Amino acid sequence: MKPKNLSKKIRRLEARLQKGAKKLAKLKQKLEAAATAGAAKKKRKSAVRADKASAAKKVKRKLNLRPERRAELAAAMKARWAAKRAAADATTQTASTEQGFIPGQGPQPQ
């Protein structure tokens, strides 16, 4: 290969490598800028969310009830919760007896 052609090829290769390095530096700079912008955006969003959350919280009103009515409601709620627990217990017991398990007994021979 002639020295002239060889020097041309070397020049072209150096130019291409320099372009690639510039491109790489530019992309790295963009990535860093995007990362810092993303962090700032997150910080702003969290601050806005905190403001909205504090503003959106309702003050819970205390019910203005007579003591008799309050006791009546408490009894009704306790009865509802007891019924709910009994129903849950019944479903777990029926599921376990369907599988052949009866509380207080060992495994049944088949």
Q: Would the pTM of this model clear 0.75, i.e. be above it?
A: no
Q: What is the mean pLDDT of residues 19-38?
A: 90
Contacts of 108 (CB under 8 A, 6+ apart): 100
CB 100 within 8 A of CB 108: yes
Task: Encode pLDDT of 59-94 as tens digits.
Answer: 778 888 999 999 999 999 999 999 999 999 888 877
What are the angstrom distances between the C-alpha of 102 and each of 92, 105, 110? 11, 6, 15
CA distance 66 to 80: 21
The per-residue pLDDT for 43 is 86
